[in-house]
Chain A
Amino acid sequence: EDKVVQSPLSLVVHEGDTVTLNCSYEVTNFRSLLWYKQEKKAPTFLFMLTSSGIEKKSGRLSSILDKKELFSILNITATQTGDSAVYLCAVQEYGNKLVFGAGTILRVKS
């Protein structure tokens, strides 16, 4: 059975801290891995990763994929209260189906 596991389930940090969110997966037909941010509405797209070892960056956020060890991490540096959200990891299979993890709830305290 395909599965995506995220850790930790939740964490609380202070503004300025750096956080690392983890995502491991077991899927049959891997196509890509995606990270989404969700703030009480629809998920918004952050990154799509298809190749191992190539870091994607967007401002204070970055992510990398390891296809050999079947995991990805999402890093957020210098966290701000606006980073508080649920971060979802999903693996896209051929046929476009997405298998989601349960998400990591991040709360950034000022």
Chain B
Amino acid sequence: QKEVEQDPGPLSVPEGAIVSLNCTYSNSAFQYFMWYRQYSRKGPELLMYTYSSGNKEDGRFTAQVDKSSKYISLFIRDSQPSDSATYLCAMSAGGTSYGKLTFGQGTILTVHP
């Protein structure tokens, strides 16, 4: 079993839809949770960064962390064609001199007009 499992998709939604992207994990030591957006042939871009459980909102994006269920989600409201990309979840235990991130395999999202 992989340490981080991400819904593989691909996901195709109409413009304006609410998108839900999810990851589950098995390592209870994970404390830092991230979502990255990666456009084709580009480096991943940090989208959301949360520590421990709870919600964090930034514009149309909301990140949720449920440590009791070992489950994290990214919600995109009013999705736009420009949101079409691969979304990667990542997490780390922290507390060390370097941050070793464990990534999900990524979900390909297409938002069509």
A and B interact: no
